[in-house]
Amino acid sequence: MPKRFYKTTHKTGENNVSLLGLDVHNPVFFVAAVLVLGFIGLALGAPETVGAALFAARDWVLATFDWLFVSTVNLVFVFCLALIVSPMGRLRIGGSEARPEFSTLSWFAMLFSAGIGIGLMFWGAAEPLAYYTGWSGTPLGVEARTPEARDLALSATMFHWGLNAWAIYAVIGLALAYFTFSKGLPLTMRSAFYPLLGERVWGWPGHVIDILAVVATLFGLATSLGLGAQQVASGLHFLFGTSPGLTTQILIIAFITSIAIVSVVRGLDGGVKVLSNINMLMAAAFLAFVFIVGPTLLIATGFMDNALNYVRDFVPLSNWIGREDTDWFHGWTVFYWAWWISWSPFVGMFIARISKGRTVREFLLSVIFVPLVVTIIWFTTFGETALFQAEGGIGTLQEGIGEVSLVLFHMLENLPFTQIASGFAVVLILIFFVTSSDSGSLVIDSITAGGKLHAPVPQRIFWATLEGAVAAILLYGGGAQALQALQAGAISAALPFTVVLLVCCVSLWKGLLNDHNALKRLSAAESH
Q: Taking the domains of the chain in order of start, what are their residue ranges?
A: 16-527
C-alpha–C-alpha distance, residues 28 and 7, integer Å: 24
Q: What local confidence, expressed as pLDDT, does residue 2 receive?
A: 42
Q: What local confidence, expressed as pLDDT, does residue 111 receive?
A: 67
What residues does 61 pair with on adjacent strands? none
> For the segment 154-167, what is each residue's pLDDT rounded down to a tens digit?
999 999 999 999 99
Q: What local confidence, expressed as pLDDT, does residue 77 receive?
A: 97
The pTM for the full model equals 0.88
Q: What local confidence, expressed as pLDDT, does residue 465 receive?
A: 86
> What stretches in the chain show pLDDT beneath 50?
1-5
Q: What local confidence, expressed as pLDDT, does residue 411 receive?
A: 95
Q: What local confidence, expressed as pLDDT, does residue 405 receive?
A: 87
Q: What local confidence, expressed as pLDDT, does residue 511 receive?
A: 93
CATH fit for domain 16-527, picks 1.20.1740, 1.10.10, 3.30.70, 2.160.20: 1.20.1740
> For the segment 448-488, what is each residue's pLDDT rounded down to a tens digit?
887 776 667 787 788 888 888 888 887 777 655 665 776 77
C-alpha–C-alpha distance, residues 426 and 320, integer Å: 37
b/e burial code for range 106-140 (CB count within 10 A of at least 16 → b): bbbbbbbbbbbbbbbbbbbbbbbbbbbbbbebbbb
- Mean pLDDT of all residues in the chain? 85
Q: What local confidence, expressed as pLDDT, does residue 139 receive?
A: 95
Q: What local confidence, expressed as pLDDT, does residue 305 receive?
A: 96
C-alpha–C-alpha distance, residues 232 and 246, integer Å: 12
Residue 169 gets the label, from left (phi > 0), alpha (psi -120 to 50) or beta, of: alpha
